[in-house]
Amino acid sequence: MQDSPSLSRILTDFVHNLVYDDLSAEVVHMTKALYLDWLGSALAGASAAPVAALRGFTDSMGPGDGPAQALDRLSGTSAYFAAMLNAAASHVVEQDDVHNGSVFHPATVVFPPLLALAQSRPVHGRDFIAAAVAGYETGIRVGEYLGRGHYRVFHTTGTAGTLAAAMACGKLMGLSADALGHALGSAGTQAAGLWEFLRTAAHSKQLHTAKAAADGMLAASAASFGLTGAARILDGEQGMNAGMLGEGRAGRILEGLGKPFGVLETSFKFHASCRHTHPSADALLAIVTEHDLAPDDIAAVETHVYQAAIEVLGPVTDPRTVHQAKFSMGFVLALIAARRRAGVADFSDETLSDPLLRALHDKVRMVLDPEIDAAYPARWNARVIVTTTDGRRLSHTCEVPKGDPDNPLSDVEIEEKFVRLAALHDAVDNDDARRLVESAWRLDQLHDAGAAFRIARPG
């Protein structure tokens, strides 16, 4: 293996050589849309308990002020801690984007460190966009390289996400190809994230993104000062693939880079829950809408899914927290059956204890479907069968969940989603929300991207 081309070098050369002018208008527009979508998620999650816990840490360890803005208090801190806090915030309400093939949430680890750096030094919006594309491409292709075996135990957003953040930051900082290689090696040796937290509703999911974003920035910054990293962190004998149950799908890096750019393959979330619930939610929504079913009409719901959905959602049999409910197939489908939606405001302490929703939750069963499993992760499908109280069996298959590239949200829907999320906890006022939307669509024209996205404190 050691005589074969280094996957790390191929990847870092690609990132180093990437320039804004290489990007099509479609790629640029999609990157701006993904940024706006991320910002809404970060604002909506900024007051959550995991962010408050990490804020306690940063308050005790970090500066009392700084050039970068943490969205939980709209206050200044170091770029490192801003990246950490904002990455945690954007992975709370389960509205951040996802890439199907890599099973990876790019925005939550790419945009927080980029925004923090952009607020620490003047950065043109075009350079910001190119760096974001580099981060997406890195995380997506590394996630695909590691494959399904890795995802069964490791949270890919925490692992591949650390490398994504490092390459995004390194690109924005203008690192050489050699320095990018060292940054990649240092990012890979820090990469972590295990799924065990789901069983007890722990806050680890937000810690994964917080550390991925901050550690990626650390790797890039340290490389700029001369810290070296492993040259073959991906495919070395003791590298990530060897140690993290990877499948070593080298073609996703050797032949996959920029073909097409990963941003164009990325999906927006419509429902405010784990993406693995979305195909089933869309299928059930089609059934209850077409047949005008009321909750009392439903005797049982059987959803045919792929294995990864069972592995991620299966441990949550009795959701006890709002975040855990977002990883409960039963609870998400109960919301769809009762309210015909599963929006961010539908997950609350009140709905968790709602007897109707609990009763519907108990009627849901997941079943492994070999055909659907074979199509995953390239396609996230589900077939739902509803047995009604009068004995009918109603079925619908979701081939393309809403928000996927083949079933996209419109620009208007993305803007509306941002406004809803930004208003969730009065994070920003209406004037700021409108300004942030306008600035996002003009990102490629901004000479100081960080200044444009600084939010004024209330009052």
Give every CB contact of residue 178 below 8 A, 6+ residues apart in sequence. Answer: none
What is each CA distance from 250 to 4, 53, 141, 306, 365, in whole angstroms? 11, 39, 9, 24, 37
Residue 64, pLDDT score:
87
* Cα dihedral 267, 271, 273, 274 in deg (nearest 10): -30
Residue 73, pLDDT score:
93
Q: What secondary structure letter does DSSP report for 261?
A: -
Query: Domains of the chain, with CATH numbers?
Result: 7-267 (1.10.4100.10), 275-398 (3.30.1330.120)
Give every CB contact of residue 129 below 8 A, 6+ residues apart in sequence. Answer: 20, 23, 28, 31, 32, 443, 444
Full pLDDT tens readout for the chain, 459 residues: 445 669 999 999 999 999 999 999 999 999 999 999 999 999 999 999 999 999 999 999 989 899 999 999 999 999 999 999 999 999 999 999 999 999 999 999 999 999 999 999 999 999 999 999 999 999 999 999 999 999 999 999 999 999 999 999 999 999 999 999 999 999 999 999 999 999 898 999 999 999 999 999 999 999 999 999 999 999 999 999 999 999 999 999 999 999 999 999 999 999 999 999 999 999 999 999 999 999 999 999 999 999 999 999 999 999 999 999 999 999 999 999 999 999 999 999 999 999 999 999 999 999 999 999 999 999 999 999 999 999 999 999 999 999 999 999 999 999 999 999 999 888 898 899 999 999 999 999 999 999 999 998 765
pTM: 0.95
- State the Cα–Cα distance between residues 280 and 335, nearest whole angstrom: 12
The SS3 assignment for 191 reads coil
What is each CA distance from 174 to 115, 119, 170, 216, 224, in whole angstroms? 16, 16, 6, 15, 9
Dihedrals φ, ψ of 305, to 5°?
-135, 175
- State the Cα–Cα distance between residues 394 and 367, nearest whole angstrom: 16
Residue 1, pLDDT score:
42
Q: What secondary structure letter does DSSP report for 20?
A: G
Give the burial string for 151-164 (b: 16+ CB within 10 Å, else e).
beebbbbbbbbbbb
The SS3 assignment for 284 reads helix
